[in-house]
Amino acid sequence: MALPAPLHGVIPPVCTPLGPDGEVDTASLTRLVHHLLDGGVHALFALGSTSEVAYLTDAQRGTALETVLEAAAGRVPVLAGVIDTTTPRVLDHARTAAALGADALVATAPFYTRTHPREIAAHFHHLRAAVDLPLLAYDIPVAVHSKLAPELVRELAEDGTLAGLKDSSGDEGSLRRLLTALGGRTGRHRGPAPGFAVLTGSELTADAALLAGADGVVPGLGNVDPAAYVRLYDAARAGHWDRAAAEQERLVTLFAMVDAGPESEMGRSSAALGAFKAALHLLGVTAHGATAFPQRPLGERAVAEVARRLDAAGLLPEGPARGARHD
């Protein structure tokens, strides 16, 4: 399906539920997509960082994307992450995603290597030319260890290479400068780059990004409570900023579940992913809360803390954790 222009709204990066054997649990993934659609999300982002894309084999990536597409069934657009070190490898993923029916591609700058901005520009130009799908740039320095320069994004937006940006840089000042340069918060729409979508991956400041003129939000925590992000988004669109900020604050409190894992024994990625996946299990959405190898699992105490956070947020209304359901 065609993307709305611009792409907007709440677009969660869909977690990839795994079974005890480490394989994609397609039944749980289907339920998760339904959970997100029921929450009112506007699109889905499969195979992003929160989807543990870096831990999935090519076969597993295919299975996950196929499952999300099937479960979404055309009700909302599905974006597919095509995450790999450089252009030739990304292209392989892009062709697969296109063949499976993805509605848009999301690619980072090259990583592992040290790449010049002109080389990064060539990377995006080539991807766009080689596969006929809208292309979004994924700015995630914490993973790829380079920041997409705002001038580069603007250039690629204005020449039509990019249909959007998913900004997970955490650099809100830089994002504000980009938004302002692209016509500002009221400049309908994106001035010199018509239809260009600016999405933030900063799940703790979604209200601020929307106030600044962003089109949407890609919140990892949106897997757990998609409806809250939709309420936040709707309040923002209606200009009810205090309401949006109150929703955000509630989500910030819920987000503290990522501290449940013991930092001394887990990577920071593992702790956050582990908390989200434990929450989905506790909510009864997925059959298991496992993260991919070699990430260490959350211990019992950490899972209890996640449950406490869910409960405090009113997400566990029925008393005992519902996770048992699918075990």
> Would you name the residues annotated as active-site residues?
138, 166
Q: Which of the stretches 39-47, 208-216, 218-226, 280-288 binds a second copy when contact is defined by CB under 8 A?
A: 208-216
Query: How many whole angstroms separate alpha carbon 280 and alpha carbon 200?
Result: 23
Q: What length does the chain have?
A: 327
Select the residue interacting with a second copy from 43, 56, 224, 321 (CB under 8 A): 56
Residues 6+ apart with CB under 8 A from 114: 146
Binding mask 10-49 for a second copy (x = CB under 8 A): ------------x--------------------------x
Nearer to a second copy, 37 or 143 (CB): 143
Which position among 30, 70, 100, 241 is part of the footprint of a second copy (CB under 8 A)? 241
Nearer to a second copy, 235 or 316 (CB): 235
User: Where in 260-319 is the site for a second copy (CB under 8 A)?
Assistant: 265-270, 292-296
99 binds a second copy (CB under 8 A): no
- CB contact burial 59-79 (16+ within 10 A = b; e otherwise): ebbbbbbbbbbbbbeeebbbb
Supply 41's token pair: 């999300």
Interactions with a second copy, residue window 104-123 (CB under 8 A): 110-116, 118-120, 122-123
Which stretch, 156-164, 217-225, 251-259, 276-284, contacts a second copy (CB under 8 A)?
251-259
Query: Alpha-carbon torsion 15, 21, 23, 26, what sign?
Result: negative
**Which residues make Cβ contacts (< 8 Å) with residue 251, sequence separation at least 6?**
203, 204, 206, 219, 221, 225, 228, 229, 232
For a second copy, which stretch binds (CB under 8 A), given 29-37, 166-174, 223-231, 305-313? 166-174
**Would you state the structure tokens that stand for residue 20, as one six-digit string?**
């005890």
Q: How many residues bind a second copy, per CB under 8 A? A: 75
